[in-house]
Amino acid sequence: MYRTSLALNLTLIAAIVVLAVLPPFLGIYYGNLVTRMMILGIFAMSLDLLIGFTGLVSFGHAAFFGLSGYMLAILMMDVDSASIYWVLPACLAATALASAVIGWFSVRTSGIYFIMITLAFAQMLFYFFNENTALGGSDGMFIFNKPTLAIGSWNPIDLEDHHTFYYVVLVSLALSYLGLRRLLNAPFGMVIQGVRTNENRTRALGFATRRYKLVSFVIAGTLAGFAGFLEAMHSSIISPAHLGWHESGNAMMTVILGGMGTLHGPVIGAFAFGFLHDWLQEVTEHTTLYMGIFVIAVVLFLPRGIAGLPADVMRLLRRRAPDEEDPGA
Amino acid sequence: MSNEQKNGISRRTLIKGAGAAAGLAAASSIVPSRFAYGAAHMKKTPVKIGILLPYSGTYAMLGNSITDAMKLRIAGAGDMLGGRPVEYVAIDSEMSVPKAPQNTSKLVDKDQVDFLVGPVHSGIAAAMAKIVGGREKPIMIVPNAGSNAVTGSLCAPNIFRTSFSNWQPAYPGGTQMAKDGHKTCVTIAWKYAAGRQMMDAGAEAFTKAGGQVIKDIEVPFPDVEFQAFLSEIAALKPDAVFAFFSGGGATKFLKDYAAAGLKSIPLYGPGFLTEGVEQAAGEAAEGVRTTLHYSADLDNPSNLAFRDAFEKATGRVANVFAVQGYDAGSLIVQAMAAVQGDTGATADIIKAMENANFIDSPRGPWKMSKAHNPIQNIYLREVLNGAQDYIGIAAEALEDPATGCKMV
Amino acid sequence: MDFSTFLIQLLNSVQYGFLLFLVASGLTLVFGIMGIINLAHGAFYMFGAYVVWWLVGYTESLTLSILLGVPLIMVLGYAIERLAIARLYERDHLYQVLLTYGLILILNECQKIFWGSNFYSVPIPEALSGSIPLTENQVYPIYRVFISIVCMLIAAGMYLLIQKTRLGMTIRAGASNREMVQALGIDISRVFAIVFSLGAALAGFAGMIGAPISSVYPGMGDQILIISFVVVVIGGIGSIKGAFIGAMLIGLADTFGKVLVPDFASMAVYATMAVVLLWRPQGLFGQPVH
């Protein structure tokens, strides 16, 4: 069961409101940065469905993120404009298919072996794009024009506009979050969470756990593809590095440090990393050194990630005042 | 402590030259009226140079060399650009293409730099060009990334390159191989864009001169396990081998090549094969013939002075990357002098850059092509006693074909 | 491919396999016994190479530098285990993965701060600098043969340590049932600290002994890391024997992949791993997963 406290729900609503009123104050650069953090937030949430809720630690999740971007670049290669109504479904279908194939093989393994086999498939895809000169090879590809939402001559939303695109991403983030929440509270969600807690028991209850894991893998892969689609539109460029293991590793880090199994934690993680990196660039030459120290500090001192920080603080405060809270101890 | 450390780039160095006042006074007498508008205010604000280069990982050496040499050149001009002080904003590119749009946006949109210098990686160059291409500001100067596309299909009025196109140092290498009497060769390079473009250029020239490429070997990037390929080369027995690797990979390739006893088959390649790795490769690099737009022992006064100054400033030995950075600095200094520090006069800056004078470049005289790529001499060098030995000019004033560039 | 070329490529495969084993052995040790996925293993490898280059500058002897350098890396590993990793044994393995990821970032930056970003080379010792003729135009460096012999010795040494010594017994017992070993009055956390520093030392040693042929450059650890994981997973986590077979298999797949299917050479290694895992989901010699 995925339940959130009233306090959290109110905070999330407040966060959305803040994000919605923010753009005029951000300027182009920070607007871009927040847009990208929201996209990476969707990407990290999709991975959280696997790591935090299904118990499948995928080390190749960026493959779907990048694949979708490549799909977009390929579809837009020879055309001046294309309608999003068929481009987006095509990209999602491609990632769904890829995640179904990779997932079908991968869910046969578990634990560290699952980590490694997902890495293996992602690396194969990486090399496929890295060495394919028709697709730009190691330099990657451009997306010269974004697909349009126009129906005939009527264009309700101009995606080329920075602000508009920001809101499109914000809405996407909110919908992805709500969608995943619903999914987790549906019978399907109960089963995958059962798989995570105790796969044998779930299987004994008569559920074909492998099939559930596969479906979860496909949903996560497709959502990652959606994030990749947004990212490719946003940055207008896609490269093999987008699906390399560094990106998969970063996503994993975002999920765990943000707080896995919380859905909102990975989004917080994406924002935390984005802004930390941005700030470190300004103040120090040794960005990676401090990033490393930050990672280690969170691991050591925030066992439930950044999202668990309020609860940790509360507990710490209670421990300070044992007389009032827990007289029996 | 390394030398890089001591001379490390500082993120925001605002240099207020002592000669600022003098420069201003001298300049004002000849300022045309267009430039004089708002000049008093403008003179105080620094010209911003944004830098996006790798300062960590395998290619950090390149980033440091380029940055230090560019700063050296601008310091040589009194740290003044057209009478204005200069401010550097440097970002570590981390060689990451996914981060490139964000990093570029930071320099262009947030810091609003006047000039954007970078990168090393061609994929990042494409990402930068996409953002900078259609805009008035900044002017982008590529001090390394060799992708033919940068001054080919991606070429734009405000994108300049002070380094090379991959085609340039590779093509004369193929010709040279044939000239040295070799009939057959094997090409070997990493399987990525730069490797592919260089091998294609080398093979094109070699075939045109009557040679035959008997095998084209592509090594997965960035794999450095060459043994299987070396055995293959030994079995094929070509007259010569034409190779491109760089940095750590080049060192290992040279050492493995020598250790496998293959030195009886002469080794050729674009100069990066031996550039900056002569010391690390040691004995193994001896006798390797390469073609490049620079040679350390070029006997011209500006090269000697440059090498001396670079070593004095950084404690390191100058290399081709430093020269590319130095000329990037030179390009900015000249353009800003021409417009009297008016960074708003984009059209005039571009014009000044197109006509910039590189008579006293350490690499010898060169000029900008219509596609904004250097028209430059390519030199034949051979490693001798752990250093590059200049043999002669392999191709004089070589111009990149600039395939796909609309400005040509 | 004629027969002699085939034999030479086979030799190349085995040689590469030995190098891989050297790096992977420490990884599988830490992996299997402590359950830690040590992403910083490649960083220790890189540190080893830099340390030996640095020491050779003073001692002018590779042997002496390795003798001095290995304890240094060991101390580094010990300190990292005590200060950070020891606090995480009760937590999900993912946190340990992340911690070691943070270590990569820190160690890479430290390398840059200590030694700069140039490429360096370590000379092959005079006594081992010769070579053996293979064909009319190809020779085989003696130093590579020497590395292979050292790898075999390490493999044998590790086998003896784990199977025959008291420490090995404790390690094996601690891996399968921690509480039981502790109940017997053995300080298991000290044993784990020793194992981790041993793993780090093995990685460092691989970097040191490999330095003369690989040369020393920033980022060298990242390249070796992923391939070492592939080796360990193919062999079955924690199995020294498996790591050995896995290393040989990858050596073969890589070498012959490059020669026979050059267009797919980069995928050959990963395809091999995928096939092995589909056939045996716990690796060749791993314990079945429950």
Residue range B371-384, pLDDT digits in tens: 999 999 999 999 99
Give me the pLDDT at residue B240, please. Answer: 97
**Is the pLDDT score of B8 beyond 50?**
no
- Give the whole-angstrom CA distance, residue B344 versus residue B114: 9
- Give the whole-angstrom CA distance, residue B22 versus residue B39: 15
Name which residue leads in pLDDT, A54 or C174: A54
User: Is B50 in a helix, a strand, or coil?
Assistant: strand
**Is the pLDDT score of B134 beyond 90?**
no
Q: B221 and A235: CB-CB below 8 Å?
A: no
Answer yes or no: are the C-beta atoms of B15 and B71 closer than 8 Å.
Answer: no
**Is the pLDDT score of B19 beyond 80?**
no
Give me the pLDDT at residue A25, please. Answer: 92
Name the phi and psi angles at C132, rounded to 5. -110, 130
- Give the whole-angstrom CA distance, residue A181 versus residue A186: 9
Instruction: List the single residue in A with minimal CA-CA distance to B148.
Output: A139
What number is the average pLDDT over the span B220-232?
Answer: 90
**Is the pLDDT score of B28 beyond 60?**
no
**Is the pLDDT score of B100 beyond 90?**
yes
A105 to chain C: which residues are within 8 Å by CB? 274, 278
Q: Rounded to a whole number, what is the distance in Å from the CA of C95 to chain A's nearest CA?
A: 6
Chain C, residues 178-237, CB within 8 A of chain B, namely 213-220, 223
Q: How far is CA C7 from CA B365, C2, C136, C248, C249, in A?
A: 53, 9, 15, 15, 16
Q: What is the pLDDT of residues B313-346, one digit of tens each?
A: 999 999 999 999 999 999 999 999 999 999 999 9
From B1, B234, B259, residue closest to C135, measured CB to CB: B234
Q: What is the pLDDT of residues B142-196, one digit of tens each?
A: 999 999 989 998 899 999 999 999 999 999 999 999 999 999 999 999 988 899 9
B130 near A CB under 8 A: yes
- Give the whole-angstrom CA distance, residue C170 versus residue C158: 14
- Give the whole-angstrom CA distance, residue A97 versus residue A103: 10
From C133, C217, C254, residue closest to B248, measured CB to CB: C217
**Is the pLDDT score of B4 beyond 60?**
no
Answer yes or no: are the C-beta atoms of A249 and A58 closer than 8 Å.
Answer: no
Give me the pLDDT at residue B21, please. Answer: 35
- Give the whole-angstrom CA distance, residue A144 versus residue A80: 8
C114 near A CB under 8 A: no
Q: What is the pLDDT of residues C19-29, one digit of tens each?
A: 899 899 999 88
Give me the pLDDT at residue A321, please. Answer: 59
* Pairing status of strand B184-190 against strand B240-244: parallel
DSSP string, C82-111: HHTGGGGTTS-HHHHHHHHHHHHHHHHHHH
**Is the pLDDT score of A72 beyond 90?**
yes
Q: Would you give the DSSP letter of residue B99? A: T
Q: How far is CA A241 from CA A129, A141, B328, in A?
A: 9, 11, 28
C113 to chain A: which residues are within 8 Å by CB? 286, 289
A132 near B CB under 8 A: no
Give me the pLDDT at residue B10, please. Answer: 37
- Give the whole-angstrom CA distance, residue C235 versus residue B158: 55
- Give the whole-angstrom CA distance, residue C96 versus residue C89: 8
- What are the structure tokens assigned to B120, written together? 């090393």
Residue type, A102: I
Residues 6+ apart with CB under 8 A from C87: A300
Average pLDDT, chain B: 88
Answer yes or no: are the C-beta atoms of C9 and C218 closer than 8 Å.
Answer: no
Give me the pLDDT at residue C64, please. Answer: 95
- Give the whole-angstrom CA distance, residue B199 versus residue B211: 14
Give me the pLDDT at residue C147, please. Answer: 92
Give me the pLDDT at residue B374, please. Answer: 97
What number is the average pLDDT over the span A34-61?
Answer: 96
pLDDT above 90 covers what percent of chain B?
73
Give me the pLDDT at residue A278, please. Answer: 95
* Rg value, chain A, Cα: 21
- Give the whole-angstrom CA distance, residue B59 versus residue B194: 15
What are the DSSP E strand ranges found in B145-196?
A: 159-161, 184-190
Q: How far is CA B163 from CA A140, B83, B118, B132, B141, in A?
A: 21, 27, 11, 19, 9
Residues 6+ apart with CB under 8 A from A276: A291, A294
CA dihedral angle for residue A119, residue A122, residue A123, residue A128, rounded to 10 degrees: 170
pLDDT above 90 covers what percent of chain C?
47
What number is the average pLDDT over the span A127-148?
Answer: 89
Which of A55, A54, A116 is CA-nearest to residue C280? Answer: A116
**Is the pLDDT score of A61 beyond 90?**
yes
- Give the whole-angstrom CA distance, residue B153 versus residue B146: 13
Most confident of B364-378, C116-130, C163-177: B364-378
Instruction: List the single residue in C with minimal CA-CA distance to B260.
Output: C139
Instruction: List the single residue in C with minimal CA-CA distance to A244.
Output: C226
Q: Rounded to a whole number, what is the distance in Å from the CA of C277 to chain B's nearest CA?
A: 23
Interface test with A, best of C104, C273, C285 (most A CBs within 10 A): C273
Q: What is the ipTM of this complex?
A: 0.89
Residue type, A89: P
What number is the average pLDDT over the span C204-216?
Answer: 91
Q: How far is CA A95 from CA A91, A92, A99, A120, A263, in A?
A: 6, 5, 6, 17, 21
**Chain A, chain B: beta-carbon pairs less than 8 Å apart:** 91
Q: Rounded to a whole number, what is the distance in Å from the CA of A288 to chain B's nearest CA?
A: 9
Give me the pLDDT at residue C182, please. Answer: 78
Give me the pLDDT at residue A322, please. Answer: 52
In the numeric block, the tokens 């016994």 are attached to: C33
Q: How far is CA B102 from CA A234, B297, C57, C249, in A?
A: 10, 40, 42, 42
- What are the structure tokens assigned to B310, written together? 């670079």
Instruction: List the single residue in C with minimal CA-CA distance to B317.
Output: C118
- Residue A149 CB neighbours (<10 A): 17
Q: C12 and B228: CB-CB below 8 Å?
A: yes
pTM of the model: 0.89
Give me the pLDDT at residue A328, please. Answer: 40
Give me the pLDDT at residue B54, please. Answer: 93
Give me the pLDDT at residue B93, please. Answer: 93
In the structure, what pLDDT confidence band is assigned to residue C77 with cuts at 50, 70 and 90?
very high
Answer yes or no: are the C-beta atoms of C23 and C45 closer than 8 Å.
Answer: yes
Helix (H) or strand (E) holding B351: helix B346-354
Give me the pLDDT at residue A81, please. Answer: 82
What number is the average pLDDT over the span A128-148?
Answer: 89
From B2, B247, B252, residue closest to C214, measured CB to CB: B252
Q: Rounded to a whole number, what is the distance in Å from the CA of B230 to chain C's nearest CA?
A: 9
C256 to chain B: which residues are within 8 Å by CB? 228
Q: How far is CA A216 from CA A22, A44, A104, A209, C74, in A?
A: 34, 15, 11, 10, 43
Chain C, residues 91-110, CB within 8 A of chain B, namely 108-109
- Of the candidate ranges B46-60, B211-225, B377-391, C174-188, the one whose mean pLDDT is the lowest: C174-188
B91 to chain A: which residues are within 8 Å by CB? 281
Q: What is the pLDDT of residues C28-59, one digit of tens each?
A: 888 877 878 899 999 999 999 999 999 999 99
User: Is A118 in a helix, a strand, or coil?
Assistant: helix
In the structure, what pLDDT confidence band is assigned to residue B282 with cuts at 50, 70 and 90?
confident
**Is the pLDDT score of A329 beyond 70?**
no
Which of C225, C20, C22, C212 is CA-nearest to residue C120? Answer: C212
DSSP string, A123-155: HHHHHHHHT-GGGTGGG-EE--S--B--BTTB-
Q: How far is CA C118 from CA B63, B248, B279, C223, in A?
A: 11, 9, 10, 17
